[in-house]
A = this chain, B = another copy of it.
Amino acid sequence: MEFARLVFVIMAKDLRAELRTKEAVNASFAFAVVILVLLSFVVESNDVPLPVLGGLLWLVFAFAGTLVLNRSFAREVPNDCLDALIAAPISGAALFLGKALANFLLVLVVELVALPVFGIFYNVRWTQQFWQLMLVVVLGTWGVTVIGTVFSALTVNIRLREVMLPMLTYPMLLPALLGAMELTGSLVTGAPIGPETVTWLKLLIGFDVLFTAASVTLVEFILVG
């Protein structure tokens, strides 16, 4: 109970600070659109195979998402706020989950707004397997969020944060992204998840479970050692 309350307090704080000005979400969304446009130059031809477009979508999600995620612990830096959080009687796990949940919601919102835009730009009928797609989006996003949040904590105090963070985060994300890409690629063709793609789903779920458990266990070391 106490744990859940603290998680909620942290989450509410982050959401409030972020949504004080709705611009954060707006800007992240705008960025997603910009990447969509940029990528359209690369995959110029109109007859790109649909599965490739699934990959494209997750690339956009990854770039736009990490933009939000990077700020998660960076926000605690300016006035040494992290000190006060570490000093407070709250466990690292609660702090981490609170921040991860806030990030998850923010990233999810951006993604859900970007999805229809993606559909229009690339002529993808993404609604065909709506619920299965939502499942994949939620699972993939949670994976991205967990890794992003924990690495944001890991790099918050080191030199070269800005470069180290993406360099460490993206490779770690690849398995989850790969799974989400393959699944999305096949879902947008209208085919439901079948025996061929279910391996990817398992991979994705395994990734989420494994990393959530690892993060919750290890974050205490990161924050206070």
Stretch at the interface among A1-9, A55-63, A128-136, A213-221: A55-63
Q: Is A30's CB within 8 Å of the partner chain B?
A: yes
A29 vs chain B, min Cβ distance (A): 9
Which B residue sits closest to A67, measured CB to CB? B163
Bound CA span A170–B70, Å: 19
Stretch at the interface among A32-40, A140-148, A198-206: A32-40
Q: Is A211's CB within 8 Å of the partner chain B?
A: no
Q: CB distance B52 to A42 under 8 Å?
A: yes
Stretch at the interface among A19-27, A84-92, A94-102, A112-120: A19-27
Which residues of B lie under 8 Å from residue A71 when comparing CB positions? 162-163
Q: Is A171's CB within 8 Å of the partner chain B?
A: yes
A61 vs chain B, min Cβ distance (A): 12
User: Contacts A23-B160, A160-B24, A160-B27 hold; do A41 and B178 have CB atoms under 8 A apart?
Assistant: yes
* Chain A 135-184 interface residues, beta-carbon cutoff 8 Å to B: 159-160, 162-164, 166-167, 170-171, 174, 177-178, 181
Bound CA span A28–B163, Å: 6
Q: Which of B41, B42, B162 contacts A67 (CB 8 A)?
A: B162
Q: A residues touching B (Cβ–Cβ < 8 Å)?
A: 21, 23-24, 27-28, 30-31, 34-35, 37-39, 41-45, 51-52, 55-56, 58-59, 62-63, 67-68, 70-71, 74, 159-160, 162-164, 166-167, 170-171, 174, 177-178, 181
In the complex, the 8 A-B pairs of residues with the closest C-beta atoms, listed nearest first:
A27-B163, A42-B55, A41-B55, A31-B167, A34-B170, A30-B167, A27-B167, A42-B56
